């Protein structure tokens, strides 16, 4: 199972939101570049990065910071936030990221998703940001009436390499992940699925590892690292 420590960037700094609310953002002193270096030095090669400004604006805003992180070619970066066009996807692929995460654009334009998956094999991940069973878009500002279960049925055969399932009601709360719904969705598809939102402790991660579901590829850990509830050195022992 892959453990993805997270870096969410807003205004050039590491931040964490609570339930996707930009008015409840916690800003941290460490720069995204330093944080990525810290993860790497502790043995993490896979890092989850979201350009929150990009998600809100519909275009990459913090690409300079991310490209500085990518200079370490031993890192496998999955990047999302503001990816809306084939040009956006191509630019990130060319810069050396491992996977490009498409969220809003994938839901609004399935044809774009299909074309991207065909052109960039094993490089396209889809973010399913879910609130009460429905998908949310545009930095979680736009709620839809699209059931996540219906949407995964539409994309299950397009060649998506990874699903990142985030329960918005859990994200940033450190109240434990929504394993039930994530596993339910992952069981409907053959796409490797990553659990995101609510991780509160090392024990949460150990529990996920013990589940040993074949379709659960990994877990994203964010706020609990920044707040000190999960020590990076301890987390590294689970890699």
Task: Read off φ and ψ for residue 132, nearest 5 degrees.
Answer: 55, 35
Residue from 88, 98, 129, 167 carrying the catalytic annotation: 129
Domain positions in the chain: 2-236
pLDDT digits (tens, 9 = 90+) for 136-170: 887 677 889 999 999 999 999 999 999 999 998 88
pLDDT at residue 52 tops 70: yes
What pTM did the predictor assign?
A: 0.93
pLDDT digits (tens, 9 = 90+) for 84-123: 999 999 999 999 999 999 999 999 999 999 999 999 999 9
Average pLDDT on 46-57 reads: 92
181 is a catalytic site residue: no
- Strand 216-221, strand 193-196: pairing: parallel
Give the CATH number of domain 2-236.
3.20.20.70
| CB proximity list for 87: less than 8 A, separation 6 or greater | none
Sign (positive or negative) of CA dihedral 213, 2, 24, 124? negative
Under a CB-based contact definition with an 8 Å cutoff, are residues 122 and 97 in contact? no
Query: What is the average per-residue pLDDT within 122-141?
Result: 89
167 given a catalytic annotation: no
């Amino acid at each position: 199972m892959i453990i993805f420590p997270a870096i969410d960037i807003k205004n050039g700094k590491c931040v964490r939101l609570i339930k996707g609310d930009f008015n409840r953002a916690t800003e941290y002193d460490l720069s995204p570049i330093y944080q990525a270096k810290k993860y790497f030095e502790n043995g993490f090669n896979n890092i989850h990065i979201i350009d929150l400004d990009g998600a809100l604006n519909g275009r990459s805003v913090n690409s300079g910071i991310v490209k500085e992180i990518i200079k370490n070619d031993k890192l496998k970066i999955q990047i999302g936030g503001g990816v809306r066009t084939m040009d956006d996807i191509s630019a990130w692929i060319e810069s050396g990221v491992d996977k490009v995460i498409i969220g809003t654009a994938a839901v609004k334009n399935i044809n774009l998703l299909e074309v991207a998956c065909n052109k960039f094999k094993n490089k396209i991940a889809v973010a399913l940001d879910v609130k009460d069973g429905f998908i949310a878009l545009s930095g979680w500002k736009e709620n839809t009436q699209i059931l996540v279960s219906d949407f995964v049925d539409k994309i299950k055969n397009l060649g998506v390499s990874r699903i990142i399932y985030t329960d918005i009601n859990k994200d940033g709360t450190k109240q434990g992940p929504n394993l039930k719904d994530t596993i339910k969705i992952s069981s409907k598809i053959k796409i490797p699925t990553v659990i995101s939102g609510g991780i509160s402790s090392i024990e949460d991660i150990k529990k996920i590892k013990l589940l040993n579901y074949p379709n659960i590829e990994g877990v994203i850990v964010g706020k609990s690292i920044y707040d000190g509830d999960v020590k990076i050195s301890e987390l590294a022992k689970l890699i």
